[in-house]
Amino acid sequence: MKKILIAAIALFIGSGAFAQDVRVGIKAGANLSTITSAPVDPKMKLGFHVGGFLDFKFNERFSLQPELLYSAQGLKWTDGSIFCTVAFDYINIPVLLKINITEGFSAEIGPQIGFLVEASWKQKKNGVLVYSGSSTDECNTIDVTALAGLSYTFAENFVVSARYGFGLTKIGKSWSDKNSVIQLSVGYKF
């Protein structure tokens, strides 16, 4: 994990050497998340993300945007009178290539590495809590995701974006489910 963080910091610093313009920003927004290939019929879980980003503008067409985000993800499902919620909290580091399509509009694509902070679950039957727990023992602590999305910058400093993240690695050590998340964000560049 230490090597990955060092590599991410080196990428941030190294990218700045070739950039014409570097801006710092903050962002926050909503997550709609679930998992793929679940044995049950999962529903989207509403969560959030918050953090910061750097925008290294190379020219009028391309920029690189590494981010550092706290992201609350997971899923929920219902089976008769049983309602379950599973939550996965990550520290995510996306690194996005941004391609300027037209004035203000950009396409974003790139990888993301996530570090699991906590995994928890709750189970209710007929509205009464029957079980809750928290553990990362059965989960993989690193999550790799492919991201794609669109962003719009207006008034030079404000950014809105929408992106989809598809998990490439398994969430659990003994199950094949992967993360799937839609993120809607608002941000500000300084």
- pLDDT higher than threshold 60 for residue 187: yes
**Residue 37 confidence (pLDDT):** 72
Q: Phi and psi of 42, rounded to 5°? A: -75, 150
- pLDDT higher than threshold 90 for residue 160: yes
- Residue boundaries of the structural domains of the chain: 2-189
- pLDDT higher than threshold 70 for residue 42: yes
Stretch 154-158: mean pLDDT: 95
2-189 maps to CATH 2.40.160.20:
yes
Stretch 76-96: mean pLDDT: 92
Among candidate residues 54, 53, 167, the one with its CA nearest the CA of residue 114: 167
Judge whether 51 and 29 are in contact, CB under 8 Å. no
- pLDDT higher than threshold 90 for residue 40: no
